[in-house]
Structure 1
Amino acid sequence: MTTPPTTTAVVTGAGRGIGLAFARGLADQGHRVVLTDIDGVAAEQAAVEIGRGAVGISHDVRDPASSRAVAEMAGEHGRLAVWVNNAGVLFAGPAWESTDDELATILDVNVRGVMGGCSAAISQMGTAGGRILNVASISALTPVPGLAMYAATKAAVLSYTTSLQGDLRHAGLPVTVKALCPDVVGTDMVTSREKDPGAAMLFSGPRPLDADEVAAAGLDLLDSRQVFRVVPRWRGALVRTVDVAPSTGLPLLRVMRRLGDARQAKS
């Protein structure tokens, strides 16, 4: 007889892409995984695919009460040990042309959703402890013309994560929170922008990362002493040189953006 998992893991935005890869990895580690997504049907189908007691539910991360309900439900299936804030949205183009709805959505999902998820997870984990992973982006570390709003939200996630980890240590709670900052990943969120001129920077670098390798790096980060990690690491060192001296780096980014334009034109 197979012993059911005694720990649970929650992954938001897990209906596809990186979130689904995280869910598979956590299930392989022996957790009972709760997959959440704004598309509840996609989450349910992904849970069936994973099996091993996985549960898929509809969850709008913009609603803090919904995140608390997910945390409580996960706790009913076992001790909540891992929470991955993966859900995110992206809008490309000049920031001043963004609609009010786009601005509200990207802030609510990418920033408030992460904060609400962390709060819900910490409250549920309590003194039993646990691990939280916030999926940020390499754009948190450098200017990204065409993706100003997205980059700003991911920078907020990184800053929030490092400060929150300090608060947890000060409070003596055995909960760790980490931020993963991957380079461009070949998910639907990116490939759907293939013809979007505002998203040229997404196609200016090396080959997009695979969702499985990003998830593997995130799971490794959870077990490390690092608070955040860039994937791949060499790209982190490169983009920080631009961040240190934006007046020098921005002209280089203009060249990269033109490269992205050329690649989009060929696609």
Structure 2
Amino acid sequence: MSSESPPATDDSLVAVVTGATSGIGKAAALQFARKGYRLSLSGRDEAAMARTVKACMDAGLSQRLITTTVGDLREESIAQELVKHTVDKFKRIDVLVNSAGILVSGPVEEANISDLDRVLDVNVRSVVQLTRFAIPHLKSTKGTIVNVSSIAGPCAFPGVSFYCMSKAALDSFTKCLALELAPAGVRVNAVNPGVIVTDVHRRSGMTDEQYTAFLEKGKQTHALGRVGLADEVAEAIYFLASSSSSFTTGQLLTVDGGRGLMTPR
């Protein structure tokens, strides 16, 4: 873990983090809290949001420097409110981390087409919608956008076709938007994690036994011999959001333990 930065103040940079109630989004929120950012957090679970806020406070961020928006970002009104609420309270947006996402598993032949609609709505459409609302404010601060994609974007895996499609679309959006916003000084990048220990696979329908076996299999499918942790992805997100990557835009940073390099022999 990186060293801590000075505590946030009323003049600190502002990070908006979606999907902040669990997994990579929560880890990213904690990382920015430790780095002294003011936070605007979004998620659908009010109780889980309260736990994230407490964790950020435990990390040293004053409660008055945290604001939250609870709701489904697929709804235009919620996305608009998140941006408006952030700017009303903090007067600026410096970083947008699009971390909210879902996974639907199963072969295409057996899938319901509504599953495709749902995955694309959450993983792509809602990201584009929120980003559009945030762009004017990011232009004024010459801010940064970090999209949380997946190694499933550039790589193909059976049984998760809709998820792979959604992340490939997000990767393309990242690169195209980077070109659009570069003249305004706004950088746009993505992280592409391998298997990370979060709740996303259980939410897709895996039992505890299946998930345990899946993580064990990860020792063979990742070159480093293990799956990853959300904090490791959060470190990469912060790097892409910070001035440490000031000459980097339109990039897909794989944080996958070598998963994307593996080829069966």
1:56 aligned to which of 55, 64, 68 = 68
Q: Does 1:210 align with 2:210?
A: no
Shift of 1:37: 0.6
Residues 146, 188 of structure 2: 8 Å contact kept = yes
Aligned to 1:229: 253
Q: Aligned partners of 1:2 and 1:139: how far apart in 2?
A: 35
Identify, as 1 or 2, the structure richer in helix: 1
Matches within 5 A, 1:96-135: 96-135=109-148
Q: Aligned partners of 1:15 and 1:82: how far apart in 2?
A: 18
Letter in 1 for 2:190: A
1:187 aligned to which of 190, 198, 201 = 198
TM-score, scaled to structure 2: 0.81
Matches within 5 A, 1:151-166: 151-166=164-179
Closer, same or farther: CA 176–59 of 1 in aligned 2, 3 Å: farther
Aligned to 1:148: 161
Aligned to 2:3: none
Count of residue correspondences:
238
Residues 44, 70 of structure 2: 8 Å contact kept = yes
Q: Aligned partners of 1:7 and 1:75: how far apart in 2?
A: 12
* Structure 2: runs of 5+ lacking an equivalent: 1-6
Q: Percent sequence identity over matched residues?
A: 32
Letter in 2 for 1:111: V
Q: Does 1:137 align with 2:156?
A: no
SS at match of 1:140: coil
Shift of 1:6: 3.6
SS at match of 2:42: strand
Shift of 1:168: 1.1
CA deviations on 1:198-250 (whole Å, 9 max, x unpaired) are x96994523221000111012112342152211146444x16xx7xxxxxxxx
Aligned to 1:90: 103
Q: Hey, which bits of structure 1, 4+ residues long, moved more than 3 A?
A: 194-197, 199-204, 232-236
Letter in 2 for 1:55: T
What is the root-mean-square deviation of aligned Cα atoms in Å?
2.5
CA deviations on 1:90-124 (whole Å, 9 max, x unpaired) are 01110232224322211100010111122122123
CA deviations on 1:123-160 (whole Å, 9 max, x unpaired) are 23233221111000001111110111101100000001
Letter in 2 for 1:134: N
Q: Aligned partners of 1:218 and 1:32: how far apart in 2?
A: 16
Q: Aligned partners of 1:65 and 1:126: how far apart in 2?
A: 22
Letter in 2 for 1:174: G
Closer, same or farther: CA 2–191 of 1 in aligned 2, 3 Å: closer
Q: Does 1:71 align with 2:95?
A: no
Residues 196, 227 of structure 2: 8 Å contact kept = yes
Q: Aligned partners of 2:30 and 2:99: how far apart in 1?
A: 14
1:31 aligned to which of 30, 37, 44 = 37
* Structure 1: runs of 5+ lacking an equivalent: 243-251, 256-267
Q: Aligned partners of 2:163 and 2:8: how far apart in 1?
A: 44
Closer, same or farther: CA 123–3 of 1 in aligned 2, 3 Å: closer
Q: Aligned partners of 2:49 and 2:69: how far apart in 1?
A: 6
